[in-house]
Structure 1
Amino acid sequence: MLNWYKAKLAARPLLTQSITTAILFGVGDVTAQQLVDRRGLSNHDVTRTGRMVFYGGAVFGPAATTWFRVLQKHVVIPGSANKTILARVAADQGLFAPTFIGIFLSSMAVMEGTDVGDKLKKNYWEALSTNWMVWPFVQLVNFKMVPLDHRVLFVNVISIGWNCYLSWLNGK
């Protein structure tokens, strides 16, 4: 299975990482609905899961794949691997995270037919501050130990719990 994934990743990295992201965003939402909200299968909101899958595959997957490549190419401190890693984490948490939490909440509001401003006002700061308690540490490991082509997958696996949180927060 891993060899198959590596072959797909080598042949079509953006598509492969986008599909993987879509699936794992869906897993996060199913986890939120079934384990956190305890809805039961008969009350599962399939449309909500669909929104998360769509967002993961169409928005976050391509953006994260591109972002990690940009960081790899443009955020480099010559002669210092550790400073480079810290600079990448700082860029990720100072630029990407605030932007994509806003994009996530706005996208969900649009797909739900609710007010974007209300959604951002209600959830943005809570999501961003929670993000900063989790993701800097994850990204330190990611940028230090995970090869570039597997960084989105690593983030996606960790994101099962994070997407569960985001789905729960969005559904509040």
Structure 2
Amino acid sequence: MAGLWRSYQALMGRYPWTVQIVTAGSLVGVGDVISQQLIERRGLANHSVKRTAKMMSIGFFFVGPVVGSWYKVLDKLVTGGTKSAALKKMLFDQDYTDALISNYYLWPPVQIANFYFVPLHHRLAVVQIVAVVWNSYLSWKANKML
């Protein structure tokens, strides 16, 4: 595991934007797989690869670039790594998208910790790891209605 982390860090150092986007897309896909297999209990025979690919595309082409860019903007709007700066970034982030209104129990503490403890180039990965749970829920909820 340590070797995998070192490899990830090395790639992040050389290709930070690409690695952040690939990480985002991959973790959105993981969220859908978890939703289909653990929440919906579809089994491998009934797994919708098309649905997972669609979710991954959202991660690669929307979540990664948009949220990654948003974090860069936030870092310019609110400088520093203090607790106060982390709190301000979290508050700005809560106005970023309506989807966060329904998940205030999850995102504010995650984002305060993320903005306070995590370097800029790792923030997207941290959020995407937490978002695996959120994406699993969203995928289940969205597809439950179909």
Q: Report the TM-score, using the length of structure 1 for normalisation.
A: 0.77
Q: Which amino acid aligns with 1:144?
A: Y
Q: Does 1:139 align with 2:111?
A: yes
- In 2, Cα distance between equivalents of 1:10 and 1:166: 32
Residue of structure 2 equivalent to 1:44: 47
Q: Which amino acid aligns with 1:163?
A: N
- In 2, Cα distance between equivalents of 1:23 and 1:29: 10
Deviating beyond 3 angstroms after TM superposition, the runs of 4 or more aligned structure 1 residues are none
- Listed one character per residue, the Cα deviations across residues 114-148 of structure 1 (whole Å, up to 9, x for unaligned) are xxxxxxxxxxxxxx443222101110110111111
Identify unmatched segments of 5+ residues in structure 2.
none
Partner-residue secondary structure (3-state), 2:6:
helix
Residue of structure 2 equivalent to 1:22: 25
Q: Trace 1:46-125 onto structure 2 (pairs within 5 A).
A: 46-76=49-79, 81-95=82-96, 97-98=97-98, 101=99
- In 2, Cα distance between equivalents of 1:52 and 1:67: 20
Q: Which amino acid aligns with 1:86?
A: L
Residue of structure 1 equivalent to 2:130: 158
Q: Report the TM-score, using the length of structure 2 for normalisation.
A: 0.90
Q: Percent identity?
A: 40
- In 1, Cα distance between equivalents of 2:101 and 2:91: 15
- In 2, Cα distance between equivalents of 1:8 and 1:67: 22
- Listed one character per residue, the Cα deviations across residues 21-79 of structure 1 (whole Å, up to 9, x for unaligned) are 11111110000001101111111111110111000011101112111111111123x8x
- Listed one character per residue, the Cα deviations across residues 87-110 of structure 1 (whole Å, up to 9, x for unaligned) are 100010112x32xx3xxxxxxxxx
Identify unmatched segments of 5+ residues in structure 1.
102-127
Greater helix proportion: 1
- In 2, Cα distance between equivalents of 1:145 and 1:83: 12
The two structures, once aligned, show a CA RMSD in angstroms of 1.5
Aligned residues: 141
